[in-house]
Chain A
Amino acid sequence: DTAVSQTPKYLVTQMGNDKSIKCEQNLGHDTMYWYKQDSKKFLKIMFSYNNKELIINETVPNRFSPKSPDKAHLNLHINSLELGDSAVYFCASSQEGASLETQYFGPGTRLLVL
C-alpha cells in the first residue's frame, strides 16, 4: 500500500532528449513537491505545488516543468536533457494544516543522462 509512488525507478537517456517522471500519492494530501538529490546526497527542492500556487525554486532551469492533472498527481517534465541533470529525483507530499506537518517521500527516480 504505497503512499507516494514514482515511475520509472530508473531512467537512462541520451543528452537532448525530453523525458517525464510520474508521481502519485494516495494520502489525500493537497501539496506535492519535487526534489533533486545530487551525488553528494544533498536534497534540494525544485517545486512545490498545491491547488492554489506553484512555487518554483529560482535556480531550477525552465527546461523543468511540473504538471498536475489532479490533486493526487504531480509529474515532472524535462526538456533537452543535459549531463548535469543526472541525479535522483524525489517526489513528496504533505498536508497543509495537519498536526504533523511534514513531507512523505517517494522511492526516487534515478536519472542518468549519457
Chain B
Amino acid sequence: QKEVEQDPGPLSVPEGAIVSLNCTYSNSAFQYFMWYRQYSRKGPELLMYTYSSGNKEDGRFTAQVDKSSKYISLFIRDSQPSDSATYLCATSSRTGANNLFFGTGTRLTVIP
C-alpha cells in the first residue's frame, strides 16, 4: 500500500464551480500536510500547508485534514481557468520535511 493515495483524475469542471480534491494516507504518524500545484512543464509549488487536523483557508482555497479518517481535502471555490493544473497532496511525519510522501496528483481542467 502506498503511503498516500490520490485519484489521478482527470477532473474537468466549468468555471465558477467548487472543486474538491482528496487524498487518503496510511500512516497515523503523519502530522504535516501540504498541497502542491504543478502547472504543465513546471515544478510543483507549495499551495497550502497545515499541521495536524483542522481547516485552513487562503483566499479561494481551503485545506482540510481529518486525522481520524486519515483524509486530506483541498477545496477550490469559484474555480478559474488559471486553476487548471495538477494538484499533489503530500504528507510528512516529522519536522524538516526530510521525507515528504506525495500522492500521484489529480489533473484538473477548469473550462471557461
Interface residues of A (CB under 8 A from B): 4, 31, 40-45, 48, 55, 90, 92, 94, 96-97, 100-108
Residue of B nearest to A43 (CB): B102
Q: How many residues of B contact A (CB 8 A)?
A: 25
Chain B contacts with A in 59-112, Cβ cutoff 8 A: 86, 88, 92, 95-100, 102, 104-105, 107
Cβ-defined partner of A42 (8 Å) among B42, B46, B104, B107: B104
* Cβ A94 vs Cβ B44 within 8 A: no
In angstroms, Cα B69 to Cα A70, docked, is: 43
Residue of A nearest to B44 (CB): A105
Interface residues of B (CB under 8 A from A): 8, 32, 34, 36, 38, 41-46, 49, 86, 88, 92, 95-100, 102, 104-105, 107
In angstroms, Cα B96 to Cα A97, docked, is: 6
Contact A96-B96, Cβ < 8 Å, known A107-B42, A107-B43: yes
* Cβ A105 vs Cβ B45 within 8 A: yes
* Cβ B104 vs Cβ A41 within 8 A: yes
Cβ-defined partner of A101 (8 Å) among B43, B44, B96, B102: B96
Contact A90-B97, Cβ < 8 Å, known A41-B8, A41-B86, A100-B49: no
